[in-house]
Structure 1
Amino acid sequence: MLFSLSLFKLVLLALIALLAIVIWRYSATALAGEADQGRFMRALAATLAAVVFTLLSNHLLLFWLGWVAISLALQQLLLFYPERPRAQLAAHKKALSARLSETLLALAFTLLYLQFDSANISEITRAVATTGGANWLLHSAAVLLVLVALLKCAQLPLHGWLIQVVEAPTPVSALLHAGIINLGGILLLLFSPVLAYSSLASSLLLAAALGSTLLAALIMTTRISIKVRLAWSTVAQMGLMLVEIALGLYTLALLHLLAHSCYKAYAFLHSGNAVNHYLAAQLAGQTNPAARHWLLALLLSTALVYLVQLALPLSSLSSAVLLVLAISVLLVPSLCHADSHRPARLLLALAYALGLLALYFSLKTLLRLVMPTPAAVYPLADLLASLAFAGLFVLAILLRYHSHHRQLNKLFIWLNAGGYLDEWATRITLQIWPYQQKPAAASKQNTLQEVK
């Protein structure tokens, strides 16, 4: 069959429908009065249609054509304001990254076709289980799929275009960060048997995504602009999702994908209220937590997660570490103020954390039917990821509250510059594929001609 449906695809289709309705209505209101609103809405509809077509495709060629169509339609949205130089540069870099990912995906699909003599995706994923362990075609295809996912998820150092496309209208940012950017993870989940077959591809994915997650998360803490912070957060979150896939935690990765999509759509479409939130936080007053507050929060969160996992065992050490760190961040504000209301605040925070854990395990149990997790998780990779998450937690706290120290200040400055990775990538990009900036007058004239 050229097209197919599964529980996994139905869940993703429901997510796409929700995002499409919200972003479409927001765009219709936000761009009311724009001369090119019709052009924007047509490009938005084409992008959404290409995503649905790609997701339903059960043939390698159709999937690849849909993958290309998504990039081409999205390019029109990124250049909605073509007279902006930064928008031109971001779209140019995105185009080069897209062409590279499309070429690598075509090579991967060619190898899969040569190996299995079939272009049916369902047949390929079923046939992987019967393939011997020393098949270089399958290993090569898995590595290529990993590279495609890393490019599509804007992992470092080829991340600059994602940070700079905030020049586009806010609905484009919401569509990109809540939907399109997830395609790399969706690709690997669709071809998870191929990835699981190759330990080389899984190791490459773990190393690249884990490094990108750590750097992007630290760089995010140094940014002030709300949309730029959200963009860096997307790079870090996509890296974390790819780490989960590399570890074989497919259920957790799917839950992460769904939660991140909903949050990012809300965050970008609600970013106009960031100033009000900042002023409210300043009026409420902030107290920097001390080391004892963090230690107590960690102990309480560890005990809470331990008690919960006795009834519902966790699938890996790294997932337990992530839960402990997340709940610690939730609990620590209730411990900072030593007043008569602290016990009540702490009980309320613990009840909230327990509710979130119940929601987490409930959703994970439901999604296990959609995207089951293999029984075995490599202990060494799991331990490495756990140590990396713990180190990131400690370093982020130091940068947040103690960046005035000399060595931390140097690190803060380097991180604030993004590690100068994007400058390096931009120079190489322009050497490979130079472009000339369009004059503003010419861009406006082209826009007027398109309207006519």
Structure 2
Amino acid sequence: MLFAHGAWDSTLIGARGIGFSIRLDAISGVMLLLVSFIGWVVVRYTATYLDGEPRQGAFTGWLSLTLATVLLLVLSGNVVQLVLVWIATSLFLHRLLLFYPERIAAKRAAAKKFVTARIGDMALIIAALLLTFAYGTTDIEQILNAARAGTGGDPAIVAAGFLGVAALLKSAQFPMHGWLTEVMEAPTPVSALLHAGVINAGGFLLIRFADVMLLAPGVLAGLVLIGGFTALFAGLVMLTQPAVKTSLAWSTVAQMGFMILECGLALFPLALLHIVAHSLYKAHSFLASGGAVELIAANRRPGPVASPKAGAVARAFLLALAIYAVVGFGFGFQHKSPQAIALGAILIFGVAYMLAQGLADAAPRALTRRTVVYAVATSVGYFALQVFAIWLTSGVLPPAPSPGPLEWALIVLAVISFGLVAVVQAMFPLWAYHPAAAGLRVHLSNGFYANAVFDRLLGGWRMRDAS
């Protein structure tokens, strides 16, 4: 129906712009399928995971309520409904984070999440009021159509700023990321549930109001800087974490930063694709983490580690760029926006990191062949999925505008920054035992103590069950 007739908007059940309405388009359709599928998997997993727990019924109830509000969020047809279910999602998640109220770390995580969420809620409420004032309606379809026509003036631009703040806080961006790295104290299904549209809700908000965000280039620039820094910072911290689930949590912070970066570059179709891909693999990673650890421990075979040296790293980067260029031209590389080309270059740095392992002097030939095949498959997959995402959201999401001087500066900064970090990651095994590297590792493993600063600001306050 969506492909034949386009977006569908229901009539409002309510009065004066306040009530219930649904907007079904490519964005909400994709998110609806994603949330429903992951939610179904998590609920089934919970039935076994908490079997015998005295409060299993309560947990399943709060879990179902959280999923229901996320579904209402992605289907919202007016800003009043969107704000209400946005707040409700956070409040229901708070109950899940406190499922084991006797755990001090769980209380600390819930307290930080509660404070961060309430600030984000206020930002979204202000944004909704400004949008209603700017466009004279609460209907999201009418707001988007008017914004695409370039109307709205200063109130719409300021609203874009508050939308950005709400998205940053919802998706655990630096320096308000600490709560996400501590949710391991809650049951494992909660960690998987976060990827069913909860932690991704910030990205969804920016994608839903993409036309409004394009009215404020300065806001988009801020998203690039904060999202890019969060991705780099969390990606480095992740490498130092000894616990699997904590490492996965830091990985989520980094992935959310990269998603915000994509939105800041106005690559909204790719940000939507990122949400889907990350949600599926990360939810699976959390649910399978226990079994994976046991499997690795049972099959551990100590042997030589193939650490790439400078020559192997250089060859890996050159090979990765060559693969990117060849595959890219096959998919019409020359017709892509500069933002999309830069994003592809950043992603290919990850491919280079993988290739470096296969090109190391001690690496067996089988590993070398496998990494090259994976590199080609990754590049083909990136461009193919990019084409599909742009086609799927055509007419729903605006294309990336031509970059101006500010945008070009941010693009160059992002490519150079991610490139340098990729080189550092590839070379880190060679420096791991240097005294300076050992000290840096300690600071990185603690996230440069940003989380401790947040704890200090809270002054030891902890949310109780009744909160």
Q: Give matches, 1:272-283, under 5 Å.
A: 272=290, 273-277=292-296, 280=299, 282-283=301-302
Matched, 1:36 2:72: no
- What is the CA-CA distance between 1:136 and the residue it aligns to? 2.1
CA distance in 2, matches of 1:391, 1:298: 11
In structure 2, distance between residues paired with 1:173 and 1:8: 24
Residue 218 of structure 1 pairs with residue 203 of structure 2: no
Indicate the residue corresponding to 2:120 in structure 1: 101
Q: Which moved more, 1:196-205 or 1:104-113?
A: 196-205
User: What percent of counterpart residues are identical?
Assistant: 35
Query: Is 44-53 or 13-22 further displaced after alignment?
Result: 13-22
> Do residues 308 (structure 1) and 327 (structure 2) align?
yes
| Structure 1 residue 20, shift from structure 2 partner | 1.1
Give me the whole-angstrom Cα distance separating, in 1, the residues matched to 2:428 and 2:206. 34
Q: SS of the counterpart of 1:369?
A: helix
In the alignment, what sits opposite 2:442?
A: 413
- Counterpart of 2:433, as a letter, is H
Please give the root-mean-square deviation of Cα atoms over the aligned residues, in Å: 2.1
What's the offset of the Cα at 1:84?
Answer: 0.9
Matches within 5 A, 1:107-118: 107-118=126-137
3-state SS of the aligned residue for 1:270? helix
Aligned to 1:62: 81
Alignment partner, residue 3 of structure 2: none
Cα offset for 1:17? Answer: 1.5
Query: 1:124-157 CA distances to partner (integer Å, 9 max, x unpaired)?
Result: 0110133359x32112111111111110011111
Question: 1:203/1:338 Cα in 2 relative to 1: closer, same or farther (>3 Å)?
Answer: closer
Structural mapping, 1:225-244, within 5 Å: 225-244=243-262
Post-superposition CA distance 1:144-193 (Å, at most 9, x none): 11111110011111111111111000000111145310000000000011
TM-score under structure 2 normalisation? 0.88
Q: Distance in 1 between matches of 2:75 and 2:262?
A: 24
Deviation at 1:282, TM superposition (A): 4.6
Name whichever of 30-39 and 409-418 sits farther off: 409-418
Match of 1:356, as an amino acid? Answer: T
Match of 1:381 in 2: 410
Confirm or deny that 1:159 pairs with 2:190.
Answer: no
Q: Deviations over 1:203-247 (max 9, x none)?
A: 111111112112111111111111111111111110011001101
| Structure 1 residues 384-395: aligned runs within 5 Å | 384-395=413-424
Distance 1:400 1:258, change over 3 A: farther
SS in 1 for 2:199: helix
Give me the whole-angstrom Cα distance separating, in 2, the residues matched to 1:230 and 1:113.
Answer: 39
- The 1:214/1:126 distance shift into structure 2, 3 A limit, reads same
From 297, 310, 316, the counterpart of 2:316 = 297
Q: Distance in 1 between matches of 2:235 and 2:270?
A: 19
Bigger drift between 41-50 and 395-404 goes to 395-404
**2:201 maps to 1:183:** yes
Q: After alignment, is 273-282 or 409-418 more displaced?
A: 273-282
More displaced 10-residue stretch of structure 1: 311-320 or 235-244: 311-320
From 220, 223, 234, the counterpart of 1:202: 220
Measure the CA separation in 1 of the matches of 2:88 and 2:447.
31
State which drifts further: 295-304 or 377-386. Answer: 377-386
Does the CA-based 8 Å contact 2:228-2:414 persist in structure 1? yes
1:323 is aligned to 347
Alpha-carbon distance in structure 1 between the residues aligned to 2:300 and 2:268: 37
Once the two structures are TM-superposed, the CA of residue 104 in structure 1 deviates from its matched residue by: 0.8
1:370 to 380, 389, 392: 392
1:174 has 2:198 as partner: no
Cα deviation 1:308-333 (Å, max 9, x = unaligned): 11121154342232232122223223
Tell me the amino acid that sits aligned with residue 249 of structure 1.
L
CA distance in 2, matches of 1:430, 1:58: 40
Letter in 1 for 2:352: S
Aligned to 1:450: none
Please say if residues 321 and 389 of structure 1, whose CA atoms lie closer than 8 Å, have aligned partners that are also in contact. Answer: no
Residues 352 and 204 (structure 1), Cα distance of their counterparts in 2 relative to 1, 3 Å cut = closer
Structure 1: give runs of 5+ residues left out of the alignment: 447-452
Which whole-Å CA distance do the structure 2 matches of 1:383 and 1:403 have between them?
A: 29
Contact 2:192 2:286 in 1 (8 A): yes
> Corresponding residue for 1:449?
none
Could you tell me which amino acid in structure 2 is paired with residue 333 of structure 1?
Q
Structure 1 stretch 59-68 or stretch 200-209: which is displaced more? 200-209
The separation in 1 between residues aligned to 2:136 and 2:30, in whole angstroms, is: 30
State the 1:292 CA deviation.
1.4
Equivalent position to 1:27, from 35, 46, 53 = 46
Unaligned runs of 5+ in 2: 1-10, 12-20
Conserved in 2, the CA contact under 8 Å of 1:210 and 1:385? yes
**Does the C-alpha gap of structure 1 residues 338 and 222 become closer, same or farther in structure 2, counting only changes over 3 Å?**
closer
Decide whether the 8 Å contact of 1:43 with 1:73 is kept in 2.
yes
Structure 2 CA distance, aligned partners of 1:51 and 1:265?
Answer: 16
1:80 is aligned to 2:99: yes
Structure 1 position 249 matched with structure 2 position 267: yes
Partner residue of 2:138? Answer: 119
Task: Write out per-residue CA displacement over residues 95-134 of structure 1, whole angstroms, 9 at most, x where no aligned residue.
Answer: 111111111100000000011010001110110133359x
| Distance in structure 1 (CA, Å) of the matches to 2:318 and 2:181 | 36
Larger helix fraction of residues? 1
Deviates more, 1:276-285 or 1:73-82: 276-285
Could you report, residue by residue, the CA deviation over 1:222-281 in whole angstroms, capped at 9, with x for unpaired residues?
111111111111111100110011011112211211111011111100110225326645
Say which is worse superposed, 109-118 or 392-401, in terms of deviation: 392-401
Q: Does 1:4 align with 2:4?
A: no
Q: Distance in 2 between matches of 1:285 and 1:270?
A: 27
Q: CA offset at residue 411 of structure 1?
A: 2.1
With structure 1 as the length reference, what TM-score do the two structures score? 0.91
Retained in 2: the 8 A contact 1:221–1:400?
A: no
What is the match of residue 346 of structure 1? 368
Counterpart code for 2:89? I
- For residues 62 and 93 of structure 1, the distance between their equivalents in structure 2, rounded to whole angstroms, comes to 25
For 1:318 and 1:279, the matched residues in 2 are separated by 42
- Measured in 2, the distance between the counterparts of 1:265 and 1:390 equals 28
Tell me the amino acid that sits aligned with residue 311 of structure 2. R
Q: 2:451 aligns with which of 422, 426, 449?
A: 422
2:244 and 2:289 in contact (8 A); partners too: yes
Written as runs of structure 1 = structure 2, the 5 A alignment for 1:123-142 is 123-131=142-150, 135-142=153-160
Equivalent AA in structure 1 for residue 189 of structure 2:
P
Structure 1 contact 251–367 (Cα < 8 Å) conserved: yes
